[in-house]
Structure 1
Amino acid sequence: MDYFNELTGSRCASLVPFEKALSTVKSKDQCYTAEELKLVIRWAHVNWVHSFKPENLCRMTRFDGYLSDALIWADGHGSNPKACPHEEIIKLWNEKFPSKAVSLHEWNRRRPAYRDLEAVWNGKTTQGNWRELKHMGMAFELISKSSLFGTRGDQPWLTLDWILNPKNWGSVYEQAINEHRERKGVKA
């Protein structure tokens, strides 16, 4: 519980959820270990957008799935081997969109788009390669030339935060690529 409180900045006092996780038999008379519980806590702290309670995290009907995801996350599978270079990507954005510039001082882990940028970074390109800084620069270049910015560029909602939102990223990027191909005379 001390680890949970220290990591999340919480003041939880009930040991019951943690005791339940540590005393539940997972297989062959073996219970979950303290290290597995700590890994799941760390994984949830990094990946879950909202704050979470021990009762939700230690729900035994879901804990095995959480542990599986946490083990994959800890091994780095499904993640770009290079850490997301937030500062460099924000600088690229600010170069392409000076009127929609993002303050580096305001860009932090508490901002939902911070995690959205990491999700985009950890995705692969259409060629199946891990994203690199040059890919992000090209994406911003294509988006800046798309009709989205040509017709709605002055809209206050059209920001990096909006574009990086998982609901929007795919369609915005796909539209920008398709329009680029049309300008080049290439059919999709």
Structure 2
Amino acid sequence: MSMTLTARAMSIKTGNPIRKLVLIKLADNANDNGECWPSYQHIADHCECSRSAVREHVEALIEMGLLQKLNRPGVKNGKGNASNIYTLNLDKPVPRKSIPPVPQENTAMPPGSTPPMPVGGTRIGHYSESAIDPKDPLYPQRGEDMGIHADAQKALDYYNAKTETRCRDMKPFVVLLTPTSTRTAYSLDDIRLVIRWVLATWNRRGSGLPKPVNICRVNRFDGYIADAEKWAITEANIDPAAVMEGFNQIFAGLMPMAELDADRRRSIIRLAAHMKNQTTGAFLGYFERFREIASDFYFGGEHDDCWRASFDYLMKPETLRKTREGAL
């Protein structure tokens, strides 16, 4: 999903509201190279129009120079429903004379014939959520409370301070802070809480960090807040430094000494979700129980010259479960 292309699509005049919605949906599905491959039916379901109307509007967008289409044959002797590959070209404004007239027929789907929206896509390239709600303005409109910009900048500064980065794109935060006809605005405190939760619990891909556009997914933000609030309660009851200190004391001479870092702090909070009591004491009780029932195998073997378990090994839910069941 490309925020840049979605923003451009919103600003382009196409001569028809359904056609513009089709263009926005294509941009929402596109990657950073402007490529996407949704089916006609997938677009029709999301735009609440007929499949034939989508086909007409796609052809109109091609005629306007906004879209290129590569036909793909089906997998069974050229038959089947392999979706086309579309490439968006939204860099150049469309001359008014090149905007096709509004079709008089097959624009909207008759009431009562709208199929149910699929819960999940069935093709690669179908995204079930969007980082930008098409109804949400990228920036507050003139005359609206400009304090939104100030709060968005504060959210961006907070993100940069927590991640030690220099991100400059505050648009995702503006979207969340701006109320719409379908939802109230999220608060700066909500955003800060979710940022802390994301950085503490999400698994990183390589050395990368979650970007604001990933954190500020409008269609998922309510769920993010709920998870972040639960995490905050758990974090308040667990002191990772005390957990690490307890581990080093309980397993002194039996396992390698461990140091607390960001990854191990996250592993402590994640393992807490599998515990009946989410407290520092529960971790210490777990360590004591492991030391009591574990065989020499976990502590270097009979001759003290083999593999040893470690702090990271004890942070695995499977190890916790085996310890609880006495199945080590």
**Shared fold per TM-score greater than 0.5:** yes
Give the superposition deviation at 1:53. 0.6
Structure 1 pair 64–122 and aligned structure 2 pair: CA distance change class (3 A): closer
Match of 2:217 among 36, 59, 76: 59
Number of the residue aligned with 1:18:
173
Number of the residue aligned with 1:186:
none
Structure 1 runs of 4+ aligned residues shifted over 4 Å read 128-131, 146-153
Q: Does 1:40 align with 2:194?
A: yes
Give the superposition deviation at 1:139. 2.3
> Superposed, which structure 2 residues align to 1:84-163 within 5 Å?
84=240, 85-95=242-252, 98=253, 100-103=255-258, 107-110=259-262, 112-121=263-272, 123-125=274-276, 130=279, 132=281, 134-145=284-295, 154-155=306-307, 158-163=309-314
Q: Which runs of 5+ in 2 are unaligned?
A: 1-155
Instruction: State the distance in 2 between where 1:89 and 1:173 align.
Output: 17
Number of the residue aligned with 1:164:
315
Q: Which runs of 5+ in 1 are unaligned?
A: 180-188
Give the superposition deviation at 1:154. 1.6
Decide whether the 8 Å contact of 1:22 with 1:32 is kept in 2. yes
Instruction: State the distance in 2 between where 1:120 and 1:143 align.
Output: 20
**Structure (1 or 2) with the greater helix fraction:** 1
Match of 2:237 among 73, 78, 81: 81
Decide whether the 8 Å contact of 2:173 with 2:216 is kept in 1. yes
Which structure has the larger Rg?
2
How many pairs does the alignment contain? Answer: 165
Structure 1 pair 91–159 and aligned structure 2 pair: CA distance change class (3 A): closer
Alpha-carbon RMSD:
3.3
Give the superposition deviation at 1:42. 1.7
Instruction: State the distance in 2 between where 1:135 and 1:26 align.
Output: 51
CA distances 1:100-129 after superposition (whole Å, capped 9, x unpaired): 3224xxx1223x34432344456545xx68
Q: Which amino acid is the alignment partner of residue 57 of structure 1? A: I
Structure 1 pair 124–153 and aligned structure 2 pair: CA distance change class (3 A): farther
Give the superposition deviation at 1:153. 8.0
Instruction: State the distance in 1 between where 2:279 and 2:257 align.
Output: 25
